[in-house]
Structure 1
Amino acid sequence: MADAGETNDGAVLKRLPASPGRRHLSAQTGLREVMAQFATGVTVLTAGGESGHGMTANAFSSVSLEPPMVLCCVSRAARMHAAITEAGSYAVNILAADQQDLSKYFADWRRPAGMAQFDAVAWTPGARTGAPLLAGALAWLECELEQAYEGGDHSIFLGRVLTSSRGTGDNSLVFYGGSYHEVDGRARAA
């Protein structure tokens, strides 16, 4: 039976019993398996310029509304790391549910390097950064690189949002449990 307690504001908290099916995992192997249980939106980060590049990413989050800031996490071994660092800016393309192929394309290391990788997709250059904004995305953010922090084998890129725009789609692409899913945006609560 779960224990119950009360908070200062009168809310009741329940302590749930330990899950009998819980497995302990090694820190490194387990992290990937545990994080697969956390549903995330799917983005493609892009940077323009001579080192132009795109990369599928789900390590993305809002940081602040005033000033508007977001973060993304990129492996220091990834080509995207150098592209963002050299450009000093990046764009975040928030993918729609029907853009699973685009997500897979920008996750495939066999695609062309540099700006040639964008020849296979429809895009326009961002007005402030020149970073590719992918056609059909749910939304786009252009960001100026504000700060980079080391975080293990990744860098955490803090970006100040320069422009934000929303597309016309409703359904979002989500990654959960190692596969893609769709969230119907029309089902939002009123």
Structure 2
Amino acid sequence: MHSIERPSDTETYRKVVGRFATGVVIVTTRLGDVDHAMTVNSFTSVSLDPLLVLFCAEKVARFHDAVIEAGVWGVSVLPASMEDASRFFAHRGRPLNGQLQRRPHHRGESGVALFDEAIATVECLTTAVHDGGDHSIVVGGVTGLGTPSDGAPLLYHEGQYKTL
């Protein structure tokens, strides 16, 4: 392993990496009888054989421990029409009870919530968790796929929501 020199200017770092446009997803999990959800823009495809995807979860977020313990999770790729949902699920400290009642959703085969308005859905079983500094890199084997609706994707670029 190589030692990494850390730039001291985190504001410049945020500006630089913020120029990479990303899609926006809500990742969900279910621990016991409680649903957990979090807005994420660090989601990507990893492998075709086997089918793997990953997302990054901030270690201090309550979602982090829930998704690690549950071992199953769902991804709802957001259309532009779900910007308000993205903002809601990005808000720290919101009540867990009833948080999914704001949007139509269904349960995947693993029991996780998937949003009906999503332009794509992915269900996963955690296969690995890697340290990523203040985040964990959660890798999942794909167990289910769907395209519940059509629409322009919601994007995040330079600290703002955008659409195609």
TM-score normalized by the length of structure 2: 0.90
Shift of 1:110: 4.3
Percent identity among equivalent residues? 36
* Contact kept in structure 2, 1:46 and 1:53, CA below 8 Å: yes
CA distance in 2, matches of 1:88, 1:110: 22
Match in the other structure for 1:175: 156
Alignment partner of 1:98 out of 61, 78, 81:
81
CA distance in 2, matches of 1:142, 1:76: 22
Is residue 120 from structure 1 mapped to residue 102 from structure 2 by the alignment? Answer: yes
Match in the other structure for 1:151: 132
Query: Per chain length, whose mean CA-contact separation is higher, i.e. which structure has more relative contact order (CA < 8 Å, sep 6+)?
Result: 2
Deviating above 6 A after TM superposition, structure 1's stretches of 4 or more consecutive aligned residues are none
* Contact kept in structure 2, 1:69 and 1:158, CA below 8 Å: yes
Is residue 78 from structure 1 mapped to residue 61 from structure 2 by the alignment? Answer: yes
Is residue 40 from structure 1 mapped to residue 22 from structure 2 by the alignment? Answer: yes
Q: Which runs of 5+ in 1 are unaligned?
A: 1-24, 184-190
CA distance in 1, matches of 2:57, 2:92: 15
| Letter paired with 1:145 | T
Match in the other structure for 2:91: 108
Larger Rg: 1
CA distance in 1, matches of 2:87, 2:157: 15
CA distance in 2, matches of 1:55, 1:182: 20
Q: Deviations over 1:26-52 (max 9, x none)?
A: 442222111111100000010013252
Q: Deviations over 1:93-144 (max 9, x none)?
A: 100111101101101124212x5211222211111x2111012000000000
CA RMSD of aligned residues (A): 1.4
| Letter paired with 1:91 | G
TM-score normalized by the length of structure 1: 0.78
Is residue 29 from structure 1 mapped to residue 7 from structure 2 by the alignment? Answer: no
CA distance in 1, matches of 2:138, 2:27: 11
CA distance in 1, matches of 2:93, 2:137: 25
Kindly report which structure 2 residues correspond to 1:4-15, keeping only aligned pairs within 5 A, or say none.
none
Secondary structure of 1:118's aligned partner: helix
Q: Which runs of 5+ in 2 are unaligned?
A: 1-6
Match in the other structure for 2:70: 87
